[in-house]
Amino acid sequence: MNRDILVYGAYGHTGRFVVAELLRRGLTPVLSGRNAAALKELSGRHPGLDVRVAEVGDAQALTAAVRGVAAVVNCAGPFLDTGLALATTAVAAGAHYLDVTAEQPAVRQVYRAQDEHAWRTDVAVVPAMAFYGGLPDLLATAAAGDWDSVDEVVVAIGIDRWWPTEGTRETGRRNTATRLVVEDGRLVPVPETAAVRDWEFPSPLGSRTVIGNPFSEVITLARHLNASAVHTYLATAALDDLRDAGTPAPSAVDETGRSAQRFAIEVVVRRGTAERRASAAGQDIYAVTAPLVAEAVERLLDGRAGIRGAAAPGETFDAGDFLAALSPEHLTLNRWPAP
């Protein structure tokens, strides 16, 4: 089986976690990105790995970079600048495409390209396979279970601190599109005044104030879950950290490079008066993105995925089985299985 996985943006903060996780799983990362010196430095830490330098705007170089790989994992954000080019190139080469975007318009771009250009459907195209986007999508899918329609999905994201990387900050500057939620079964702009409420997260987070702040999961959920409403809330303290230009980048507190940041995501899915919940907790939103996307890659390679071109994580994978596979090493699943 071809186990070569191109990691684009391999030398970024998230890219490094992804490279390490793929190696741990016996897959073979191919190190890629636009900075030859940074790739050389990274390959010095992982001798023997192939290095392919390519600018996103250079179609020929990108095509050469993806040649022969089984999948592309794009970790280079802002994804509004990289997602579509890499997804298009991967699909053309017959390689699966995954990225870790939290940007709603970047996911929409890729879904739209699938629909408008009728991309081949024998490879998977899974944007947002990450902490934001993929994890709440999988939790909501698992919680919804056998319900074929739901009245409301509420995603609550608790983070005790947010030490943002430069990539996160740059993505925030780049992505100025109005954020979207689902109302009456349609994507609509968020209300001008964001809703604020208190949320009781599983331990160790406990009670936190959260504010309406949707990420890419709204787009992925709108793609496959028949929901009348989808709303996401984020801990206000985390948003304050992000908005403060003085908040430092994450720093490692363990040998795997994780920061001390703790997170919990809880999803409530409602139909009529019935309610189902699922939640997951863990450490470091950047680090946990690596097992999420690497698990997805493994499942695509070994056939444990419903491949149909561009799709949401929850429609590509068996959500409950996927999340269970990451527990307890990477995720603590609370209020689980969903009642």
3-state SS, residue 322: helix
| CB 62, min distance to ligand NAP, A | 10
Beta-bridge partners for 50: none
Among 7, 31, 56, 65, binds ligand NAP (CB under 6 A): 56
Among 21, 80, 82, 182, binds ligand NAP (CB under 6 A): 82
Question: One symbol per residue from 28 to 47: x for binding ligand NAP (CB under 6 A), - otherwise; what is it?
Answer: -----xxx------------
Contact of 238 with 161, CB cutoff 8 Å: yes
Q: Is residue 163 within the footprint of ligand NAP (CB under 6 A)? A: no
Q: Is residue 76 within the footprint of ligand NAP (CB under 6 A)? A: yes
Ordered DSSP codes for 59-122: HHHHHHHHTT-SEEEE--S-TTTTHHHHHHHHHHHT-EEEE----HHHHHHHHHHHHHHT--SS
Q: Is residue 15 within the footprint of ligand NAP (CB under 6 A)? A: yes
HEC string for 219-277: HHHHHHCCEEEEEEEEEHHHHHHHHCCCCCCCCCCCCCCCCCCEEEEEEEEEECCEEEE
Stretch that binds ligand NAP, among 74-82, 90-98, 112-120, 330-338 (CB under 6 A): 74-82
Question: Which residues, 6 or more positions from 289, have their beta carbon under 8 angstroms from its beta carbon?
Answer: 14, 17, 18, 100, 130, 131
Q: Is residue 299 within the footprint of ligand NAP (CB under 6 A)? A: no
Question: One symbol per residue from 164 to 193: x for binding ligand NAP (CB under 6 A), - otherwise; what is it?
Answer: -xxxx--x----------------------
- How many residues sit in the footprint of ligand NAP (CB under 6 A)? 32
| CB 324, min distance to ligand NAP, A | 20
| Contact residues: ligand NAP, CB under 6 A | 9, 11-15, 33-35, 56, 75-79, 81-82, 100-102, 130-133, 165-168, 171, 285-286, 289
